[in-house]
Amino acid sequence: MTQSSVAVAAPPGDVHSANPHHARRWLILAVIGIAQLMVVLDATVVNIALPSAQHALGFSDDARQWVVTAYALAFGSLLLLGGRLADLFGRKNALLVGLAGFAAVSALGGAASSIELLLVARAAQGVFGALLAPAALSLLTTTFTDPKERGRAFGVYGAIGGGGAAVGLLLGGVLTQYLDWRWCMFVNIIFAVVAFIGGLLLLRGQKADGPRPKLDLPGTITATAGLFAVVYGFSNAEHDSWSSVSVWGFLVAGVALLAVFTWLQTRVAHPLLPLRVLLDRDRGASYIAMFLLAIGMFAIFLFLTFYVQLNLRFTPIQSGVGFLPMVAALMIAATTATSVLLPRIGAKPLVPTGMVIAALGLFWLSAIDLQSTYANGVLGPLIVMGLGIGLSMAPAMSVATFGVDPRDAGVGSAAVNTMQQVGGSIGTALLSTLASNAATSFIAGKQPTQQLAAEAAVHSYTTAFTWAAVIFLAGGVITGLMLRPGKPAAAPEGAPAAVHM
């Protein structure tokens, strides 16, 4: 089935009559939230289980990183294709296929008897995640069209996106410690089955009202290959030198392919990513915000996890619990920002202010040392960062999908996810390199001792936090200059409303 947009005049006072999902919109939000939580959790829940999985399957340290990278490569490179497939064949269909496939390959990964099978399952999770994530966000975009209700819905969605990674650390610790590492894969089946049943019962399929647009094959090939090369290049930078061909070669190739992709999009009849989706000032600022937020959040989750486990001696479960104050603050800020503030004052004051607040939290966190405790060195900055990220991320996500033509909702949503994924990959490579260089410089010319090694490690973490704070500050300035003032405009009563048939 395909979908398209037709203009239908909604009678005055009945602006929701054209929306087939309006009466069930809050139940649909629950389904979308479960699906999104599964995708976000999967980025971190497996990390905690890696040492146990390595012991059980007997694979090397080099192979261990590919358990994470296989998912990231498939997910990041196929998001635009997944979003366009949702537009072409129906978002309900894309969501259900994505959920069913994710559950099946998660079962395969949980039952894996070798590292090869586990890697195949992780890559397949990325494939189905690339179909699932844009479908979920585009369904949210087209289901909630009233600015006030849209704000509440995106507040919930943004809170899941921002806090889900931290919850994944806690869940991974609980499952690994009390059950088995395999349950970090099996748990996806529970989420997927619940969301699949809900989607099957609540979502209405779309019918085609015209010829199906053709898939942009040249654009698909260049975008997929370009994104793969970029993500792969930055992944290699974690363990190879930046001067290595495996890093700069893939990055140059990726940039060149994405440049060709952009050129193609101006010349084909049915572009994979219509430039009309990108060339909006507010939407562009929101994409930049999502990209930079993903870079900074990497520093928080990775390096702070190292600090609390290696220096404060937290168990995996304690580490996950330690992030919960940040999750709570993020959820409160996200829901308040989008349901109360965004409809009244718009995104311009919210996104830059949130990024500056998050930067201040990171600067505060960069003051930790070997004598710091969780209470006096970590808790306060976590809460501040949660408030800042929630205040910026949820409004940015809402604005990034606001006003997108319904026929482009899938690929527009995929662009948001792509910005996050590429930002996370860059954050992994860039901040890891900066942290490693800082540790090396710290111990250079000094007599090696256990104390010095511990101090160097903490110095590397604080260096990463400082640079992440600078990135957030830059994001605050850029988005403050780009975003237009004013609140989102609601369609007047009686105005044509986009309806999916």
For residues 257-281, one letter each, b for 16 or more C-beta atoms within 10 angstroms of the residue's C-beta and e for the rest, the string is bbebbbebbeeeeebbbbeebeebe
Two structure tokens written together for 255: 């940039």
Residue whose tokens read 């994104």: 227
- In the predicted model, residues of the chain with pLDDT beneath 50 are 1-17, 208-209, 490-501
Q: Report the sign of the C-alpha dihedral through residues 479, 483, 487, 491, in that order.
A: negative
DSSP code of residue 46? H
> Contact, 39 vs 168, CB < 8 A?
no
pLDDT value at residue 207: 56
The secondary structure element, H or E, covering residue 8 is strand 5-9
Residue for token pair 């099996």: 186
pLDDT, residue 359, reads 96
Taking a C-beta distance cutoff of 8 angstroms, is the pair 286, 417 a contact?
Answer: no
Q: How distant is the alpha carbon of residue 458 from its chain centre?
A: 27
Nearest Cα residue to 38 out of 173, 195, 201, 144: 195
Tokens matching residue 140: 């949210």
Task: Give the whole-angstrom CA distance, residue 242 versus residue 248.
Answer: 6
Tell me how far apart the alpha carbons of residues 463 and 51 are, in angstroms, rounded to a whole number: 26
Tokens encoding 134: 């844009």
Residue 333 is predicted with a pLDDT of 92
Sequential DSSP letters for 326-367: HHHHHHHHHHHIIIIIHHHH-STTHHHHHHHHHHHHHHHHTT
Question: According to the model, what pLDDT value does residue 98 have?
Answer: 94
Q: Could you count the other beta carbons within 10 Å of the beta carbon of residue 181?
A: 23
Residue 465 is predicted with a pLDDT of 94
pLDDT value of position 449? 85
CB atoms within 10 A of CB 252: 14
Euclidean distance between CA atoms 403 and 488, whole angstroms: 10
pTM of the model: 0.80
User: What is the length of the chain?
Assistant: 501
Whole-angstrom distance, CA of residue 398 vs CA of residue 472: 19
pLDDT for 354: 96
Residue 203 CB partners (closer than 8 Å, separation 6+): 21, 28, 31, 91, 92, 95, 139
